Structure 1
Amino acid sequence: MSLPVRVLGVAGALALGLASCSSGGAGGDETGSGAGGGTYTWWDPYPQHEDGSEWANRVQACGDEAGVTIERTAYDTTALTNQALLSAQEGTSPDIILIDNPAVSTLADTGMLSTMEELGFDTEGIDANLLAAGVVDGSTYGIPIGANTLALYYNKAILDAAGVDPATVTDWASLEDALARVSATGSKGITFAGIGTEEGSFQFLPWFWGAGADLRDLDSPEAVAALTLWTSWLEQGYAQQSAINNSQNTTWEEFLTGTFAFAENGTWQVDSAAEADFETGYIQIPAQDGGGAPAPTGGEFIVAPVQTSTDRYEVTTQIVECMTTPEGMVETAETFAYYVPPTQEGQAVLVEAHPELETWVEAVRAAKGRTSDDLGTDYPLVSEQLWTAVQQALSGAATPQEALTDAQAAAESATS
């Protein structure tokens, strides 16, 4: 962690900003303050990474660098959000939380988080499309430590047999042509996750946004075009009816059978793809009229709950700095199967070390936060109506237009 803090530019100004932050809630563990040692509390959504794991050691190394012990607690994603909200009510918030980006607006809405402006963080170097998930009503409440997103993995042997060059798949028309060619050879076309959960919305959004649709207008012609595209794949046999129940893990298991030409999945499958029994590659999800579609960003933000003991913030700053240098972001990227850094500087370091990941960096640069467009805490309500519409259309219970019209009415009712 020897690189200077150039990504956020916070080494001096941040400490001053943190020291002046108003106290609005009870602090965490009071056994240490300032730079004089003690214990600092850290919560994250990675229970699969136990004590002694590469990730746990990475977190503790940042504590060591700051001269303190980090007491790390891990919850699953949903439990972490609930526990964070409860801790704010009880006055027991930890010093640092690493939380899924759509939850930042939920925590900020309660007043339990300090803004980056209040803390003195200069976020100018962070890609605006990635930072947007942490922006609520013009104020920034967290820093992304990295991002993952979606792209299309492909089976080279199947595409070769169908005479398809993946580099020519640049819009919906060329993708449809590729699926038709693959189908003509007897292979399966594409697998995706249409499940009736947030995963279903997550996987549908690149097509939704790639058509030019907006989450505030679920039944627009653009939105209908995107859902019609998915339903047409089932009707033409390019995708299997099982897509309606597929999770992202299921789609990946299907792809690894070697019978599908394409699979929509995320950065987190890069290592698995490299170990597959067949040659794989990946391309950006195409927008309707060409270019890369904005895929939703996944990934966690570092947030700092308001503390009663403001003298703790100096060490909190040091820990955050350790996690957000270009070198630190690349280390996080490699720990989590290529979590793409949220800054151009960090991305350049990653691509230099792993040139094969350039497609993923491009996909992240084109990506969009699910709570962007100032949706904030309305996003989960809108998303539920979106995945419900996808379910109705894929099952044949309603046409894409009917399903999305119902979704828009329900979303307006839920958010009014």
Structure 2
Amino acid sequence: MHRSSRRRLVAAIALSTVTAVAGTACSSGSGTTDTKGAGGGAYTIWDPYPQFDKTSAWAKLLDECGSKAGVKIKRTAFDTSDLTNKTLLAAQQDNAPDVLIVDNPVVSTLAEAGVLTTTDDNKLDTSEVDPNLLAAGQSGGKTYGTPIGANTLALYYNKAVLKAAGVDVASVKDWQSLTSALEKVKSAGKKGITFSAIGTEEGSFQFLPWFWGSGAKLTELDSAQGESALALWTDWLKKGYAPNSVINNTQTTSWQEFASGDYAFAENGTWQLANADKAGFDYGVLPIPASAGGNASAPTGGEFVTLPVQGDPGRYTTSQKLVTCLTSTENLNATDTALSYVAPTADVQNKQVAAKAGLKPWVDAVKAAKGRTSEDLGTKYPKISEQMWKAVQSALSGVESPKDALAKAQSAAQ
């Protein structure tokens, strides 16, 4: 590795707090600790799925793809929060895995550190991937890997609560009609909407659909559009349409509030589908509306399959075969179903909806979604996001007006 690349690695390790970026459905747990095999047909794969042990369908798929490529797979599963630092340190020691599956906002950090190969170099075919999802793994006009699947945010709704309040969910098409629905729900003695506005990446993740849905851009936090999004949330709290608990809610505790059966709406992700089926009441899902109508862009969660830089470039051919196998139409369908992900290609998305019609609104939401590091934000995103969640916290707690909170955020983010 060149000396300049090592310097970028040192800087990237300092920036690796980006691993705090949340919004995926990955569970925690411990994985194996195999190290990279030296030759002998062994190829290493690191992933953020420690919930899947060696008997799982996922682990068996890795082995099957290895067999097809004529190699043995040595897999290591890390918690998402550990994976970036482990990868950066391994790359610094010229011992990066052959295949790395990593949370999509981290791709730009690893790319800027010189850890990842581009699809031009490794010849991965990404032509079938939805462009908005592929953008999460792009930096400086180059693409680093391919998405294995995506999750995002939408609005769950309790059908019984809406019916009792006289609300037709089909009427909810923009912010005004949503707020009107919340007013009716409150008047009927029920609770309106719950979400996560906690002072972490989760808070930014949940605010982004409203921020983007206003027409605002992350490079201009203090725009009039951004102010309107924060004012929307602030007004909901003032009028009692959303509880004050959202200030400290994680996505998990927010879901628990919705699961009580008292709320009309909850902003949450695909990873709650299994819990929704167990909630004990009829629910529906609709994409988050933009300010003036249509679907707002929600942030994409999910992982990218990447090929780290190797000292021996001859390894890329086999690594490319492994990734092609993992992301084939047949295998994506099974993998994304297991991960509660929407597939990154239209072909597999259609198969998913054919098998489960309830996934249709999630496919629509994913098609409107975009990556947090898209538009060449790259490693600028974590700093912007931190100022965003601080502004949200300040406004919702009444410390500052939305305008003042976002003006301070923009100044700090520049």
TM exceeding 0.5: yes
Question: CA–CA distance in 2 between the matches of 1:46 and 1:122?
Answer: 24
| Equivalent residue, structure 2, for 1:43 | 46
Separation in structure 2 between the aligned mates of residue 400 and residue 196 of structure 1, nearest angstrom: 15
Distance 2:383 2:126 in 1: 29
Give 1:28 deviation, angstroms.
4.5
Contact 1:28–1:307, Cα closer than 8 Å, also in 2: no
> What is the aligned partner in structure 1 of residue 333 from structure 2?
330
Corresponding residue of 1:291: 294
Pick aligned residue for 1:405 from 400, 404, 407: 407
Contact 1:40-1:71 at 8 Å conserved across structures: yes
Offset at residue 59 of structure 1 (A): 2.4
Contact between 1:142 and 1:302, CA under 8 Å: does it hold in 2?
yes
CA contact (8 A) 2:221 2:410 kept: yes
Output the TM-score relative to the length of structure 1.
Answer: 0.89
The aligned amino acid for 1:41 is T
Deviation at 1:56, TM superposition (A): 2.3
Q: 8 Å contact 1:28–1:94 — kept in the other structure?
A: yes
Match of 1:234 in 2: 237
Cα deviation for residue 213 of structure 1 reads: 0.4
Q: What is the correspondence of 1:184-199 to structure 2 with a 5 Å cutoff?
A: 184-199=187-202
Provide, for residues 364-394 of structure 1, a one-character-per-residue CA deviation record: whole Å limited to 9, x for no partner: 0000100011100100111010011111111
Query: C-alpha displacement at 1:78, in angstroms?
Result: 2.0
Q: How does 1:11-410 map to 2 (within 5 A)?
A: 28-32=36-40, 38-337=41-340, 339-410=341-412
Q: How far off its partner does 1:48 sit?
A: 2.1
The 3-state SS of whatever aligns with 1:102 is: helix
Q: CA deviation at 1:40?
A: 1.2
91-100 vs 308-317, which moves further: 308-317
Kept in 1, the 8 Å contact 2:192–2:264? The answer is: yes
1:310 Cα shift?
A: 2.3
CA distance in 1 between counterparts of 2:59 and 2:163 reads 43
Give me the whole-angstrom Cα distance separating, in 2, the residues matched to 1:209 and 1:42.
Answer: 35
Farther-moved stretch of structure 1 (305-314 vs 285-294): 305-314
CA distance in structure 2 between the partners assigned to 1:238 and 1:277 by the alignment: 23
How far apart in 2 are the matches of 1:344 and 1:329? Answer: 11
Alpha-carbon shift at residue 288 of structure 1 (Å): 0.3
The amino acid across from 1:259 in the alignment is D
Task: Assess if the C-alpha contact under 8 Å between 2:191 and 2:264 holds in 1.
Answer: yes
Q: Aligned to 1:276, what secondary structure does the other structure show?
A: coil
C-alpha distance after superposition, 1:111-162 (max 9, x if no partner): 1111001112332221111011111110001100111000000011000101
Q: Which AA in structure 1 matches 2:39?
A: T
Cα separation, 1, equivalents of 2:285 and 2:68: 38
CA–CA separation in structure 1 for the residues paired with 2:74 and 2:402: 49
The 8 Å contact of residues 201 and 386 in structure 2, kept in 1 or not, is answered as: yes
Percent of paired sites with the same residue: 56
Give unpaired runs (5+ residues) of structure 2.
7-34
In the alignment, which residue of structure 2 is the partner of 1:35?
Answer: none
Question: Matches of 2:53 and 2:225 in 1, distance apart?
Answer: 44
2-structure distance, mates of 1:396, 1:142: 43
Q: CA deviation at 1:76?
A: 1.4
* Secondary structure at 1:307 match in 2: coil
Paired residue secondary structure (2:293): coil
Q: Distance in 2 between matches of 1:213 and 1:306?
A: 36
TM normalised by structure 2 equals 0.90
State the secondary structure of the residue aligned to 2:127.
coil
Q: What is the CA–CA distance in structure 1 between the aligned matches of 2:200 and 2:158, rounded to whole Å?
A: 27
- C-alpha distance in structure 1 between counterparts of 2:63 and 2:251, whole Å: 31
Is residue 102–residue 370 contact of structure 1 (8 Å, CA) maintained in 2?
Answer: yes
Moved more, 128-137 or 69-78: 69-78
Q: Secondary structure at 1:264's aligned position in 2? A: strand
Name the CA distance, whole Å, in 1 between partners of 2:244 and 2:291. Answer: 23
CA contact (8 A) 2:387 2:410 kept: yes
Contact 1:129 1:365 survives alignment (8 Å): yes
Moved more, 299-308 or 69-78: 69-78
Aligned equivalents of 1:400, 1:385: Cα separation in 2: 13
AA matched with 1:239? A
Cα distance between partner residues in 1 of 2:395 and 2:65: 48
Query: 1: CA distance between counterparts of 2:201 and 2:62?
Result: 28
SS of corresponding position for 2:394: helix
The root-mean-square deviation of aligned C-alpha atoms, in Å, is 1.4
Q: Deviations over 1:220-247 (max 9, x none)?
A: 0000000000111110001110100000
Which range moves more in the overlay, 57-66 or 85-94? 57-66
**2:36 & 2:315 partners in 1: Cα distance?**
9
Please report how far the alpha carbon of residue 250 of structure 1 lies from its aligned counterpart in structure 2 after TM superposition: 0.7
User: Any idea what SS the aligned residue of 1:385 has?
Assistant: helix
- Contact 1:326–1:349 (Cα < 8 Å) also in 2: no
Q: 2:104–2:302: 8 Å Cα contact kept in structure 1? A: yes
CA contact (8 A) 1:286 1:292 kept: yes
Instruction: Give the structure 1 partner of residue 20 of structure 2.
Output: none
Name the CA distance, whole Å, in 2 between partners of 1:139 and 1:313.
Answer: 18
Query: Given residue 364 of structure 1, which amino acid in structure 2 is its aligned partner?
Result: V
Aligned-partner SS, 1:180: helix
Q: Is the 8 A contact 1:29 1:94 kept in 2?
A: no
Q: Using the alignment, how far apart are the partners of 2:261 and 2:70 within structure 1?
A: 50
